[in-house]
Amino acid sequence: MPIQRGQRGGQLQSSLHWRWAAASCIGTSHLRMGTRKQDAFSVMRVHSDAMCAIVSDGAGSASHGGQGAVLVCRTLRVNFRNWFKQHEFLPSDETIMCWIDQLRDHLSLVAEKRGVTRRQFASTLVMLVVFKDQVLALQIGDSALVARKEGVWEAICWPENGEFASTTYFVTDDPEVRLHIYRFDRKHDAFALFSDGLESVALEQATQQPFARFFDPMIKPVDLARENGRLAELSEALARYLHSPALCDRTDDDKTLILVSCK
């Protein structure tokens, strides 16, 4: 089950020393149908002691799902960047919910201009914010977030499916959004965020645990990198892996993966 809260541990490295590799690729099913990639992501340092990472997956059944995913990532990134310009602490649950409501209103306005309903911008959300020794995670839908503590991977945000098969929850849902907010003190030295296109190769459904044999080799070069911030060469290598026939033969959906380390 997802982690709700942890016990306070020793002070870990500042997010100033975090490094990440990230990539996103279109699924072969979209290529066959001639449709655009529905996934979007964003990773950035939003404060000298804070970084955020976001993955959003547009609904395949929504005509503007990919655009909705881009707007979700962009809006929340700006919200947190502006917040940390004025504050030295994480925003409250009430503030975050206000941002989500504003995002939904913005999607409604964009949809109205396009002559469609907000539902046509349906997209999921998983977000990680690390501020000093605190962690904030947000989730709507079936994208996921896992973390490594003392060499062991565990789920923080497990994919949440809807009432029926192949359904989930979206930022645009009515009458209200199904938002989960998790807060805990950081004992982790690595995180991975990913869209549901990687669920079958990254997660063990029976035990609800991440596949260590998937994440351990993926995170190792990020752990060993000497640079901080975005690792361009590793991000390019990650993109090649996500496009590889070996992986695409196992999943035909869009695939997005963000690997973050401070080891």
Give the residue extent of every domain in the chain: 15-261
Q: Exposed/middle/buried for 213, CB within 10 Å: 0-12, 13-18, 19+?
A: exposed
φ, ψ at 117 (rounded to 5°): -90, 160
Count helices and strands in the chain by DSSP H and E runs: 7, 13
Token pair belonging to 76: 């929340």
Q: Would you tell me how many other CB atoms lie within 10 Å of the CB of residue 191? A: 25
- Of 105, 125, 138, 139, residue with least CA distance to 39: 125
Degrees to nearest 5, angle at CA 188 with 186 and 189: 125
Helix (H, G, I), strand (E, B) or coil at 174: coil
Decide which of 3.40.710.10, 3.40.50.720, 3.40.1360.10, 3.60.40.10 is the CATH code for 15-261: 3.60.40.10
Percent of residues, the chain, with pLDDT higher than 70: 93
Q: Report phi then psi at 258, rounded to 5.
A: -120, 125
Query: Which pLDDT value is given to residue 6?
Result: 33
- Strand, coil or helix: 16: helix
- The predicted pLDDT at position 5 comes to 30
What 3-state DSSP class applies to 169? coil
Per-residue pLDDT tens digits for 58-96 = 998 899 999 999 999 999 999 999 999 999 999 999 999
pLDDT at 34 over 90: no
Q: Mean of the pLDDT values across residues 124-153?
A: 97
The DSSP code for 48 is T
| Greatest pairwise CA separation for the chain in angstroms | 53
List all residues 6 or more positions away from 190 whose beta carbon is below 8 Å from its beta carbon: 147, 148, 219, 222, 223, 259, 260, 261, 262, 263
> What is the rounded average pLDDT of the residues 22-26?
96
* pLDDT mean over 173-199: 96
What strands, in cross-sheet order, belong to the sheet with 134-140?
A: 39-47, 50-57, 125-131, 134-140, 180-185
Q: CB under 8 Å to 14, separation ≥6 — which residues?
A: 48, 49, 132
Query: In the prediction, which pLDDT does 16 show?
Result: 56
